[in-house]
Amino acid sequence: MKAALYIRVSTQEQATEGYSLDAQLQKLTSYANYMHYEISGVYRDEGQSAASTNRPELKRLLRDISAEKVDCVLIYKLDRLSRRVRDVIDLVEIFEKHSVSLYSLTENLDLSSPFGRAALKMSATFSELERETIIERSKLGKEQRIKSGSFICTGKAPFGYRADFKTKSFHVDEKEAETVKKLFELYLEGSSFRQLQIYAKSRHPDKFNSPSACRDVIKRMMYCGMFVWKGKVYEGKNFPPLISRETYFAAQRLLTKSGKKKVRDNTPYLLCGKITCGKCGSFYVGKLRIRNGKHDRTYICKKRLYQGKDNCSNKVVPAEIIEREIISAVKKINFVVCEKHEEHTNDEKIEKLLDLYLEGKIEKFVYEKKVKLLKKAPVEEKDRPSGFLLKNIEKLPKNKMRKILNLLINKIQVTDGKIEIFWNF
């Protein structure tokens, strides 16, 4: 009989607690030799979780079973195959379809008998229960560690630190920490995120591919010795701070203030914030190109600009061409419809005032006074651009043109030079 030996470990902890691949292989080999089985192959899934059957060596085993290279499968314990009842049953059905028996060494399960198959389902149920219990305990342990001040990092350590997984703590990376301190210093001195990126990129060429990476550094609370989890702030116990709290909160105040600051409308690009990439969904941004000594305005996908053509291959669009096309489309709008829509704007306001009066929320004299004013007042130009303005939109200053376009257009989608306008009406 040709026997396949399937062995698996998911974590280093299992490997050190008696579930190592070598330990499983030794026991299964001894059993196969005792039973005078011919070992057709050994299938080793190292570092693979039992939560999924998407494992390289398990897939290879199933291919060999389909090719009738295996008569029986030997496993050390049922949970080496899977901890999910449904997965175990599905795998057993595949085995039975190809007349392959399954034998679990520690549980003494033999599927050749009805009792063995019943015992299999019971064992698989307890394996799944064990897995869910482990997950629940892990969650509770994680929550307890966080509440005691231990910052938990499941992936790469934050910039400025190096993770020590043995002690579950973080050590300072001196070069990166120096960059963090300098970024906060430069930001508080008035440098923009673009300027911060230039400085950080010069020190770390493989990092800081966009100004937003510097913004993330400025916002990270960990640098002042605290961290946020589920909306609550905790004092960090397993990592040292890189800056003072005064420095961190001064930077946050400046960040909030700059976020509220009114943006000067002096950009030469008419469609900023309106063009989106039809391939990756990013916004298009304005970029000045210099060719043969000539300056050309263009719009380019933000992802392509900062991450390269390999990440988004959508075309660069000349600003003059797309702006001319959009203005031409705006001038073709049915002005009569627009103006009729304007005529009803004040009527809607009057109806709302009447509702407030009937509900007793405003006095009669207030209602009559406001209705009188609304009947006399023209519709504000900023709410509904008039037909005259639309016909002559190209003669307006760019800031006014931009305001009108923002009212009319929801977004402009560009896909390999094809332009599609999504209107607000």
pLDDT digits (tens, 9 = 90+) for 155-206: 688 899 998 878 888 889 999 999 999 999 999 988 889 999 999 999 999 9
Q: How far apart are CA 399 and CA 268, in angstroms?
A: 9
The answer to whether residue 142 sits within a structural domain is no
- The reply to whether 145 falls in a domain is no
Q: Are residues 173 and 296 in the same domain?
A: no
Tokens standing for 186? 């430069």
pLDDT above 50 for 114: yes
Cβ distance 197 to 213 under 8 Å? yes
Mean pLDDT of 245-252: 91
User: Residue 179 belongs to a domain with what CATH number?
Assistant: 3.90.1750.20
d(CA 179, CA 175): 7
> What's residue 17's pLDDT?
52
3-state secondary structure of 294: strand
Based on the domain organization, do 280 and 339 belong to the same domain?
yes
Give 243 or 147, the one with higher predicted confidence: 243
- Residue 187 shares a structural domain with residue 130: no
pLDDT at 394 over 90: no
Considering the domain boundaries, does residue 364 fall inside one?
A: no
User: Is 150 inside any structural domain?
Assistant: no
Question: Do residue 322 and residue 409 come from a single domain?
Answer: yes
CA 44 distance to own-chain centroid = 33
Residue 357 lies in a domain: no
Same domain, 279 and 394: yes
Q: Which domain holds residue 291?
A: 275-345+383-423
The tally of domains found in the chain comes to 3
Residue 387 falls inside a structural domain? yes
Q: How many CB atoms lie within 10 A of CB 148?
A: 11
Structure token pair of residue 14: 């299992």
Same domain, yes or no: 74 and 174: no
307: its two tokens: 């991450």
Whole-number pLDDT of residue 143 = 72
Average of per-residue pLDDT values in the chain: 81
By mean pLDDT, which of 102-106, 124-128, 301-305, 358-362 is the weakest? 124-128
Q: Which two tokens stand for residue 213?
A: 């990476």
* 0.75 exceeded by pTM: no
Give the pLDDT band of residue 264 (cuts 50, 70, 90). low
At what angle are helices 193-203 and 211-219 packed, to 10 degrees? 100
User: What number of other Cβ atoms are within 10 A of residue 53's Cβ?
Assistant: 17
Confidence of residue 124 (pLDDT cuts 50, 70, 90): low
Question: pLDDT per residue over 17-41, tens digit each?
Answer: 556 888 899 999 999 999 999 999 9
Identify the pLDDT of residue 338.
Answer: 47
Q: What is the mean pLDDT of residues 387-391?
A: 66
| pLDDT of 117 above 80 | no
DSSP E strand stretches across 77-158:
101-104, 109-110
pLDDT (0 to 100) of residue 57 = 93
List, by residue number, the catalytic residues. Answer: 10
Type of residue at 153: C
Pair 330, 244 in one domain:
no
Say yes or no to pLDDT of 356 above 90: no
The answer to whether 37 and 2 have CB atoms below 8 angstroms apart is: yes
- Domain for residue 253, yes or no? yes
Does residue 333 register a pLDDT over 90?
Answer: no
3-state secondary structure of 87: helix
Residue 263 has pLDDT above 60, yes or no: no
Q: The CATH number of the domain where 130 resides is what?
A: 3.40.50.1390
Q: Does the pLDDT of residue 13 top 50, yes or no?
A: no
Instruction: Indicate whether 9 and 75 sit together in one domain.
Output: yes
pLDDT score, position 337: 44
CB 221 within 8 A of CB 247: no
- Any idea what the Cα angle at residue 109 is, between residues 103 and 112, rounded to 5°? 75
Residue 183: inside a domain: yes
Q: Give me the mean pLDDT over the 381-407 stretch.
A: 72
User: CA Rg, the chain, in Å?
Assistant: 34
Cα separation of 398 and 169, whole Å? Answer: 55
Residues paired with 298 in a beta bridge: 287, 318
Closest C-alpha among 314, 345, 305 to residue 413 = 314
**Are both 320 and 410 inside the same structural domain?**
yes
Domain end (from 217, 234, 260): 260
The last residue of one of the domains, among 260, 295, 315, is: 260
pLDDT attached to residue 331: 86
Whether 19 and 108 share a structural domain = yes
Read off φ and ψ for residue 176, nearest 5 degrees. Answer: -65, -40
Helix residue ranges per DSSP H, 150-285: 174-188, 193-203, 211-219, 245-260
Query: Is-contact 326 271, C-beta < 8 A?
Result: yes
The residue among 115, 134, 153 that closes a domain is: 134
Burial degree of 13 (CB within 10 A; 0-12, 13-18, 19+): exposed
In a shared domain, residues 301 and 228: no
